[in-house]
Amino acid sequence: MSRLRLIALLALALALLSPGRSHAAGEIPPLPEQDWSFSGIFGTYDPQTLQRGFLVYKQVCASCHAMDLLAYRHLEALGYSEEQVRAIASQYTVMDGPDDTGEMFERPARPSDRFVSPFPNEQAARAANGGALPPDMSVLAQARTGGPDYIYALLIGYTDPPPDMDLMAGMHYNEYFPGHQIAMPNMLTDGGVSYADGTEATVDQQAYDVAAFLMWAAEPHLDARKQMGVKVVLFLVVFTGLMYAVKRKVWADVH
């Protein structure tokens, strides 16, 4: 191999490894890692964050995204009382029946009902969203690589496209979405919701809160699982110490 060709190959390799190269060709930048209360061995969900996240889902996301695996009664785990959950459920109507005459009828939702879907079927969902099917959010935080970090990044990742990029009709540029073209528009705006606890509803805060809520929806028993894990580890530590003490006692007189 000639010296000039070797130099050219080395220059190409250095260019490809350069950290400052553009993401316009489809490369996804690293996700911004967040400080989640549920991270780590002893991490737990923060009820206030989850309640704020549910509000963002309810007022912003629920118009397009269903959560078919969640029932309203599950919201009690977020710190809502039975009366509050009943009031939340009653804001929606579900189809029930048949009644004594064989007819189906509508009634207010009950805590035992699952979250009411914004669309009656997949075809209606696609028709209302230009052919795109909004994903169910029940396990979204587990189904996407990066989990809540990805959801947070996606929600704050809307920017103007590069000058040399032509967006397809009906698509929006998002820095963290594969291919950078996403059908969902930017749904979050500063002050778009009003938090009851007085927290300022910036775009970053809303994205953080709803990502945490979706993590809880995907893994609601995380706290219990971690507590059980800690108990098991403590038991094994004590058990190991007892076995070592027994071993020393049994073999104490053996030379």
Q: Are residues 57 and 140 in the same domain?
A: yes
What is d(CA 143, CA 123) in angstroms, rounded to the nearest whole number?
23
Q: Are residues 184 and 158 in the same domain?
A: yes
Residue 160 lies in a domain: yes
Q: Are residues 212 and 233 in the same domain?
A: no
Q: What does the buried/exposed string (b/e) look like for 86-104 if buried means 16 or more CB atoms within 10 Å of the residue's CB?
A: bebbeeeeeeeeeeeeeee
What confidence score (pLDDT) does residue 227 get? 66
What is d(CA 52, CA 47) in angstroms, rounded to the nearest whole number?
9
- List the pLDDT tens digit at each of the 255 positions of the chain: 455 454 444 444 443 344 433 444 568 899 999 999 999 989 999 999 999 999 999 999 999 999 999 999 999 999 999 999 999 999 999 999 888 889 999 999 999 999 999 999 999 999 999 888 999 999 999 999 999 999 999 999 999 999 989 899 989 999 999 999 999 999 999 999 999 999 999 999 999 999 999 999 999 987 667 666 666 777 788 878 878 778 777 887 775
Q: Are residues 139 and 244 in the same domain?
A: no
- Check which CATH number belongs to the domain holding 187 and give it: 1.10.760.10
What is d(CA 37, CA 50) in angstroms, rounded to the nearest whole number?
11
Q: Are 89 and 108 in contact (CB under 8 A)?
A: yes
The tens digit of pLDDT for each residue in 167-190 reads 999 899 999 999 999 999 999 999
Q: Are residues 178 and 163 in the same domain?
A: yes
What is d(CA 138, CA 222) in angstroms, rounded to the nearest whole number?
15
Per the structure, how many domains does the chain have? 2
- Global pTM reads 0.81
Q: Are residues 58 and 164 in the same domain?
A: yes
Residue 239 lies in a domain: yes
Q: Are residues 179 and 241 in the same domain?
A: no
Query: Domain range holding 233?
Result: 225-255
Q: Are residues 212 and 230 in the same domain?
A: no
Q: Are residues 166 and 254 in the same domain?
A: no
Q: Are residues 179 and 201 in the same domain?
A: yes
Number of Cβ atoms within 10 Å of the Cβ of 34 = 16
Q: Are 1 and 7 in contact (CB under 8 A)?
A: no
Q: Are 213 and 63 in contact (CB under 8 A)?
A: no
Residue 174 lies in a domain: yes
